[in-house]
Amino acid sequence: MVKRLSIVIPGLAAFLLFAPDAALGKVSSQCARLAPTGGREVIINACSTCVIVNITRKRPGIPAPVARSFNLQPKSSIQVPFRGPGRSRITSVIPCKGEKGAAPNLADEKPLNRKDKKCVALENGKTGQVALVNSCQVCKAVLIERQNKSGKGKRQAYKVGPKSILPIQPKGATGVGLLAEINCPK
């Protein structure tokens, strides 16, 4: 018989049981879990924040797994639409848009706040090369879009240091546009 010694601190134990990583503003992988229920599976969100759960499902005989994403409200569960044999696993758990700890959307169409002045500009150099110029004292993350002859665009994010110039390679594009800028993520 194996005996286990456990120390319980009542307030801390209750906090960790009902709100994992809440004090840190992060969503832990412990927030969401898969539970089998009568031939189906259920995703359970045990945290007090909205989370996006990404799941892959591998079926026998099919080489490529199926990937699905589900938004789970706080302290809720949802039945997964997979049936039959196979193995499901949670690949990532991230906070929903607007929740603390969520990633900023660089391509968001909202205009900049009035207090946020525009720091980064696209400028042509003397050699004809395009560069991102940051005129502020803070690091900026920017999203640019390169356009080819047919009008198709390809987006790319860059990190531009304070008071610096970053040359942009054309990569076969006929035009480049600046879509958005935010302060660098920490």
**Tell me: the pLDDT tens digits for 14-38?**
333 333 344 334 555 678 899 888 7
33, burial (CB in 10 Å: exposed 0-12, middle 13-18, buried 19+): middle
Distance CA 90, CA 82 (A): 13
Tokens of 37: 């229920």
DSSP collapsed to 3 states, 33-58 = EEEEECCEEEEEECCCCCEEEEEEEE
pTM for the full predicted model: 0.47
**Which residues have a Cβ under 8 Å from the Cβ of 64 and sit 6 or more positions away?**
none
pLDDT digits (tens, 9 = 90+) for 85-132: 888 899 999 888 877 777 776 666 555 554 557 889 888 877 778 889
Tokens of 76: 């809720």
Distance CA 13, CA 141 (A): 39
Give the Å distances, CA to CA, from 83 to 12, 40, 42, 132, 181: 39, 6, 12, 50, 44
Q: Residue 176's CB: how many other CB atoms inside 10 A?
A: 18
pLDDT digits (tens, 9 = 90+) for 91-102: 999 888 877 777
Run of H or E residues at 81: none
